[in-house]
Structure 1
Amino acid sequence: MATIDFPEDLIALEATAWEEIQAGALTVDTAAKVQERLTAFAADKGIDRHAAEMELKRVVRHGETEAAG
């Protein structure tokens, strides 16, 4: 998969969601914000939202920051 140049705000949102997940405290508000921003980003870039979400999770959860640009 080609790397995706995610904006910093989207990475930050996903990082917050991941922290909440690990703490067992993910809120609907946080999840909705991530999905809303991710959907808009994918539509703007003309890429598959699902593929973008999988890559974003990989970048945030596994520290693969080279995809962040």
Structure 2
Amino acid sequence: MADTDFPNDLIALERSAWQAIQAGTLTVDTALAVQQAVTTFAAETKQSRIDVEMALKKKVRHPEPEAA
């Protein structure tokens, strides 16, 4: 999947969920909110939900180093 320009709110939501996972505090409501946002974004951009989810997780969990 090519680089996707994710909306800032979707990145923030995934970042929040990732921090909750790391802290052991992820709730069903948070996980569901991320899943619904990913599904909506995938439908709006006519992409596979799983591809969108994987790219979003990669962007949040394994960000590219910023250019100097």
Q: Same fold (TM over 0.5)?
A: yes
Please identify the structure whose Cα radius of gyration is greater.
2
Structure 1 residue ranges (4+ consecutive) displaced by more than 6 angstroms after TM superposition: none
Aligned length: 66
Q: State TM-score, norm by structure 2.
A: 0.91
Higher RCO (Cα < 8 Å, 6 or more apart): 1
Partner of 1:8: 8
Q: Percent identity?
A: 59
Give the RMSD, CA atoms, in angstroms: 1.5
Amino acid at match of 1:41: F
Q: 5+ residue gaps in structure 1?
A: none
Distance 2:20 2:64 in 1: 20
- Aligned residue for 1:27? 27
TM-score by length of 1: 0.89
